[in-house]
């Protein structure tokens, strides 16, 4: 029997998983033992669960997946909504309601599986029309597909997963063929909000936006709506923000992102960089990282697991990990390029985007190029639902790859 598998993809994912479980084991090797010491066994269990389900999914035809997309999506929405009432906090997400528990047994974090549901539903909606969306009005259905679960997740609140949804959405719009100006216009209110901290920068950005609108000439009301939305975000929001007391501002920030407490996150970043930097080229040796051993690294088995890699295996280990990730992503883009249907292609690219957002934001945060956001690293961070989601993704990608096998896509890879 020939196992249907995209071997380069599967093997890379497997290598990353072995690497990851080893790092979870190492994260537990501290001088003052904590509960982390035994987590690698649990993680291994979840890997097996992930492999089983991933294999199962890989045997399904893409058409069947297409057929069950709507029920899966609806169930996801219902579970996410229910979480706001019955959800529990635990682990790194202690202050949020991201956990589903029945009878006191925590089953997992449904938001991880919701990522896949959203990718599937988006692929379905975007592949339904013949042409790529060309105006803001045409973005409305797809925006709703992402927006509803996004709001439910932001209400938990879970900024990290929220960011991943945004990454998935824009990547899939791009893959569906949406034009750059449309993507920029869709993102413009959010960009205005971010750039509003400096009047000068925001002013420049606003002029650029006006110039672009003059060039693209979108439908009149869309153009007016965009200008108004950007003005509100860029001018009113900072004014309102400035009227708040510092403690209120902090509360909103902490609400948006529980890990955003300035002192705590500052401490995290500093300790993370010390661990990374002290690793040097060859590292301190597997399980021997002093910062990790002495628990100076926060969340070293989940969000800050990559500094353990950097501290113990050095720059060399970092290069190996990044190379594996890069190869994996190239391989999945190749799968997307060779897919037999727009739906399958979009699913493959959406899953790629989900992984990429996780990898870039997580590693970027540990090394200090991005702000601290609670977001895990695929195949490395301890977490059952996340490992399951990753291997379900691998299964889906293998299935899509299998159907596209032998098809001359004429792709670069």
Residues that bind another protein (CB under 8 A): 30-32, 126-127, 129-132, 171, 174-177, 271, 273-281, 290-291, 294-296, 310, 314-315, 318-319, 322, 325-326, 329-330, 333-334, 336-337, 342, 345, 349, 352, 356, 360, 363-364, 367-369, 409-413
Nearer to another protein, 55 or 296 (CB): 296
Nearer to another protein, 88 or 278 (CB): 278
Nearer to another protein, 202 or 349 (CB): 349
3-state secondary structure (DSSP) of residue 155: coil
Distance of alpha carbon 236 from alpha carbon 248, whole angstroms: 17
For the chain, the C-alpha Rg in angstroms (whole number) is: 22
**Paired residues of 101 in beta bridges:** 106
Distance of alpha carbon 413 from alpha carbon 396, whole angstroms: 19
At its nearest, how many Å lie between another protein and the CB of residue 2? 27
Q: Specify the DSSP class assigned to residue 38.
A: G
Nearer to another protein, 110 or 314 (CB): 314
Distance of alpha carbon 156 from alpha carbon 165, whole angstroms: 14
At its nearest, how many Å lie between another protein and the CB of residue 323? 9
At its nearest, how many Å lie between another protein and the CB of residue 23? 16
**CA distance readout (Å), 381 to 162, 283, 328:** 18, 20, 17
CA dihedral 88, 92, 94, 96 (to 10 degrees): -70
At its nearest, how many Å lie between another protein and the CB of residue 264? 13
Nearer to another protein, 111 or 272 (CB): 272
Letter string b/e over residues 117-147, b meaning 16 or more CB atoms within 10 A of that residue's CB = bbbbbbbbbbbeeeeebeebeebeebbebbe
At its nearest, how many Å lie between another protein and the CB of residue 381? 17
Give the count of beta carbons closer than 10 Å to the beta carbon of residue 368. Answer: 14
- Structural tokens at position 408: 């001359």
Nearer to another protein, 11 or 132 (CB): 132
Nearer to another protein, 127 or 135 (CB): 127
Tokens 């977490």, residue located: 383
HSE toward the beta carbon, residue 63, CA cutoff 13 A: 2
At its nearest, how many Å lie between another protein and the CB of residue 53? 27
Nearer to another protein, 77 or 397 (CB): 397
332 and 355 in contact (C-beta within 8 Å)? yes
At its nearest, how many Å lie between another protein and the CB of residue 171? 8
Estimate to the nearest angstrom the gap between the alpha carbon of 301 and the chain centroid: 18
At its nearest, how many Å lie between another protein and the CB of residue 370? 10
At its nearest, how many Å lie between another protein and the CB of residue 293? 8
Nearer to another protein, 41 or 63 (CB): 63
Of 127, 137, 169, residue with least CA distance to 150: 169
Q: Specify the DSSP class assigned to residue 137.
A: H
Residue ranges of E strands in 41-198: 100-102, 105-108
């Amino acid at each position: 029997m020939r196992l249907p598998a995209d071997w380069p993809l599967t093997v890379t994912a497997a290598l990353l998983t072995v690497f990851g479980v080893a790092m979870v084991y190492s994260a537990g090797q501290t001088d003052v033992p904590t509960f982390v010491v035994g987590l690698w066994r649990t993680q291994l269990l979840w890997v097996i669960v992930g492999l089983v389900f991933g294999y199962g999914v890989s045997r399904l035809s893409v058409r069947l997946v297409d057929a069950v997309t709507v029920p899966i999506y609806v169930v996801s929405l219902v579970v996410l909504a229910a979480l706001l009432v019955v959800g529990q906090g635990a682990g790194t997400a202690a202050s949020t309601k991201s956990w589903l528990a029945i009878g006191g047994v925590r089953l997992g974090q449904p938001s991880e599986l919701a990522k896949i549901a959203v990718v599937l539903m988006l692929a379905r909606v975007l592949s339904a029309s013949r042409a790529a969306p060309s105006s803001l009005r045409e973005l409305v259905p797809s925006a709703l597909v992402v927006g509803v679960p996004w709001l439910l997740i932001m209400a938990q609140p879970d900024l990290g997963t929220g960011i991943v949804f945004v990454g998935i959405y824009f990547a899939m719009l791009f893959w569906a063929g949406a034009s750059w100006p449309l993507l920029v216009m869709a993102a413009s209110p959010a960009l205005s909000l971010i750039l509003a901290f400096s009047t000068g920068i925001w002013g420049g950005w606003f002029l650029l936006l006006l110039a672009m609108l003059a060039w693209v000439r979108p439908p009149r009301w869309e153009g007016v709506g965009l200008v108004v939305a950007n003005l509100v975000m860029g001018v009113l929001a900072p004014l309102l923000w400035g009227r708040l007391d510092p403690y209120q501002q902090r509360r909103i920030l902490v609400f948006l992102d529980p890990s955003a407490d300035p002192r705590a996150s500052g401490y995290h970043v500093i300790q993370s960089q010390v661990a990374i930097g002290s690793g040097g080229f060859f590292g301190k040796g597997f399980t021997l990282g002093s910062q990790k051993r002495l628990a100076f690294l926060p969340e070293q088995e989940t969000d800050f697991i990559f500094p353990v890699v950097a501290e113990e295996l050095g720059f060399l280990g970092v290069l190996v990990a990044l190379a594996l990730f890069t190869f994996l992503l190239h391989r999945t883009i190749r799968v997307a390029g060779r897919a037999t249907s727009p739906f399958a292609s979009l699913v493959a690219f959406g899953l790629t985007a989900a992984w990429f957002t996780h990898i870039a934001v997580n590693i970027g945060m540990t090394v200090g190029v991005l702000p601290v956001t609670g977001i895990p690293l695929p195949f490395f961070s301890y977490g059952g639902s996340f490992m399951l989601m990753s291997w379900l993704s691998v299964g889906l990608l293998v299935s899509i790859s299998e159907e596209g096998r032998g098809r001359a896509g004429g792709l670069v890879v």
